[in-house]
Amino acid sequence: KAGVTQTPRYLIKTRGQQVTLSCSPISGHRSVSWYQQTPGQGLQFLFEYFSETQRNKGNFPGRFSGRQFSNSRSEMNVSTLELGDSALYLCASSLGQPSGANVLTFGAGSRLTVL
């Protein structure tokens, strides 16, 4: 079956602009999580959505936001971009069944460069 699809794969923006990234989870997966990866900070959890509701949020400013649609597809938005927002943004999906282990399947990521 198809994996987690993220679009766009690469994008370049300038400071002050805003960006929207998209994630299509594996069919049947209802939980979508977003991560930011930078060389200095590694992989950091941004937020998680389940059934169109944000379940958890990492320690990021309010400029970072997200949403999930009824078909489980998710988008994240970063407003007023800063140079430090340059990163690989990763989306991961999982079944979200509340028992036992929870395996995340990651997409290839969206590489954002802010100039």
Partner 1 sequence: DAKTTQPTSMDCAEGRAANLPCNHSTISGNEYVYWYRQIHSQGPQYIIHGLKNNETNEMASLIITEDRKSSTLILPHATLRDTAVYYCIVRVAMGTTDSWGKFQFGAGTQVVVTP
- Greatest CA separation found in the chain? 44
The structure tokens listed for 48 are 């998680």
Least distance to partner 1 from the beta carbon of 62, Å? 19
Alpha-carbon span 88 to 78, nearest angstrom: 13
Using the rule CB under 8 A, give the single segment among 14-22, 62-70, 78-86, 100-108 that binds partner 1: 100-108
Using the rule CB under 8 A, give the single segment among 12-20, 60-68, 77-85, 99-107 that binds partner 1: 99-107
Alpha-carbon span 48 to 35, nearest angstrom: 9
Q: Residues in the site for partner 1, rule: CB under 8 A?
A: 4, 31-33, 35, 42-43, 45, 48, 50, 55-56, 58, 88, 90, 92, 94, 96-109, 111
